């Protein structure tokens, strides 16, 4: 057992009947880090998170979470973990304060009132504590949920798509809170679809078809993809998309705002393909590939989902 690792699991497999949801995942995550967990819907992210924290028993594989065996010590892991699910899972007909008091009683926290007061203050909820949870906007619901799952001061925080449907400002503020918790020594694993959120993490792991296909710092992932990307800007750049798709060496063509990103692994073929469309009004510039460019390439490498379905 490595005491420096918050999560140390190997060969995690989960089958439901004859469907393999997760097909052998290894994760070695240091304490105090913020990790992003990425992948398309159905890639196995949520199932992996639930196996790690003891909510779901692995079909195969072994390992530890916070130093405890993920098979034998599930209650100890749960007591030291905060888990925020995709769906708002608190009581809509209770106020923010009533929700937090209820959760505090579930965890048998001492000094209930000062603990709740401190939590409300820390997450900027004091002035809203009397509002019904069901009447809150998406951003405030997520902030309340974060308060509830961190009130017992867990060592590990698992966040499953925590900012889905939340506006950009609320997402930014939510991430400020996540990094504040990490600065206090909490380990955080965040499942997300947002590439800008992934870039806020110390490291990222990408799952596809139930398997981990890439892991590392953002720069590591970009280097692993081997991509070269050109960005095209101009008044009528949109019309070039269909002309460029399918040309030799042009592996990925996608819009990014008002620009077109064209990516591949052979610079000469890329340049020849771009020159062939003869668009004098479009300016092309080689740019750093985006994380989204890299993941599109990695998904192509992963191929079709071969997991057996019921």
pLDDT tens-digit readout, 221-253: 888 888 999 999 987 788 888 888 889 999 888
Is 309 inside a domain boundary? no
Give yes or no for residue 130 having a pLDDT over 90.
Answer: yes
CA distance 292 to 111: 46
CATH number at residue 112: 3.40.50.300
Give yes or no for residue 182 having a pLDDT over 50.
Answer: yes
Residues 180 and 284 in one domain: no
Confidence of residue 62 (pLDDT cuts 50, 70, 90): very high
Residues 283 and 182 in one domain: no
CATH number at residue 246: 3.30.70.330
pLDDT recorded at residue 225: 84
pLDDT recorded at residue 42: 83
Residues 216 and 237 in one domain: no
Residues 197 and 241 in one domain: no
Give yes or no for residue 84 having a pLDDT over 80.
Answer: yes
Q: Where are the alpha helices (DSSP H) in 107-167?
A: 112-122, 138-150
How many domains does the chain contain in total?
2
pLDDT recorded at residue 133: 94
Mean pLDDT of the chain: 89
Residues 143 and 271 in one domain: no
Is 208 inside a domain boundary? yes
Closest-CA residue to 27 (of 150, 158, 154):
158
Residues 12 and 128 in one domain: yes
pLDDT recorded at residue 310: 38
pLDDT recorded at residue 308: 56
pLDDT tens-digit readout, 275-287: 888 777 888 999 9
Q: Which of 221, 241, 267 is the last residue of a domain?
A: 221
Backbone angles phi, psi at 188, to 5 degrees: -130, 130
Q: Per-residue DSSP letters for 211-277?
A: EEEEEE-HHHHHHHHT-EEEEEESTTGGGHHHHHTTSTT--EEEEETTEEEEEES-HHHHHHHHHHT
Confidence of residue 305 (pLDDT cuts 50, 70, 90): low
pLDDT recorded at residue 255: 83
Is 299 inside a domain boundary? no
Residues 214 and 241 in one domain: no
Is 110 inside a domain boundary? yes
Residue keyed to tokens 């939340």: 166
Is 304 inside a domain boundary? no
pLDDT recorded at residue 307: 61
List all residues 6 or more positions away from 91 whose beta carbon is below 8 Å from its beta carbon: 98, 99, 102, 133
Is 305 inside a domain boundary? no
pLDDT recorded at residue 303: 64
Residues 176 and 266 in one domain: no
Residues 74 and 107 in one domain: yes
Mean pLDDT on 7-36: 92
Residues 147 and 163 in one domain: yes
Residues 212 and 250 in one domain: no
Mean pLDDT on 196-217: 89
pLDDT recorded at residue 171: 85
pLDDT recorded at residue 302: 66
Is 301 inside a domain boundary? no
Residues 147 and 236 in one domain: no
pTM over 0.95: no
Torsion angle of C-alpha atoms 181, 183, 189, 195, degrees rounded to 10:
100
Question: In what order do the strands lie in the sheet containing 5-16?
Answer: 19-30, 5-16, 60-65, 68-69
- Domain hosting 171: range is 5-221
Is 169 inside a domain boundary? yes
């Amino acid at each position: 057992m490595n005491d420096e690792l918050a999560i140390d699991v190997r060969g995690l497999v989960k089958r439901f009947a004859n469907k393999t949801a997760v097909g052998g995942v290894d994760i070695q995550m240091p304490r105090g880090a913020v990790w992003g967990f990425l992948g398309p819907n159905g890639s196995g992210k949520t199932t992996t998170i639930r196996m790690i924290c003891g909510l779901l028993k692995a079909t195969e594989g072994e390992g530890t979470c916070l130093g405890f065996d993920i098979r034998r010590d599930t209650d100890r892991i749960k007591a030291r973990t905060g888990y925020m699910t995709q769906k708002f899972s608190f009581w809509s007909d209770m106020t923010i304060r009533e929700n937090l008091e209820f959760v505090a009683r579930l965890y048998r926290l001492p000094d209930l009132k000062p603990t709740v007061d401190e939590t409300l203050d820390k997450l900027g909820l004091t002035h809203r504590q009397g509002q019904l949870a069901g009447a809150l906007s998406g951003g405030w619901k997520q902030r309340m949920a974060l308060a509830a799952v961190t009130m017992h001061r867990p060592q590990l925080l698992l966040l499953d798509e925590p900012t889905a449907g939340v506006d950009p400002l609320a997402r930014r503020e939510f991430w400020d809170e996540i990094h504040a918790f990490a600065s206090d020594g909490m380990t955080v694993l965040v499942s997300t679809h947002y590439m800008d959120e992934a870039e806020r993490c110390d490291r990222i792991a990408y799952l596809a078809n139930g398997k981990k296909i890439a892991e590392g710092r953002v720069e590591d992932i970009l280097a692993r993809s081997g991509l070269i990307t050109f960005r095209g800007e101009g008044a009528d750049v949109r019309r070039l998309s269909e002309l460029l798709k399918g040309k030799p060496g042009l592996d990925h063509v996608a819009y990014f705002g008002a620009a077109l990103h064209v990516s591949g692994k052979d610079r000469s073929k890329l340049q020849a393909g771009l020159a062939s469309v003869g668009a004098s009004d479009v300016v092309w510039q080689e740019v750093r590939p985006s994380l989204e460019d890299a993941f599109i390439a990695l998904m192509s490498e992963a191929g079709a989902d071969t997991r057996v379905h019921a």
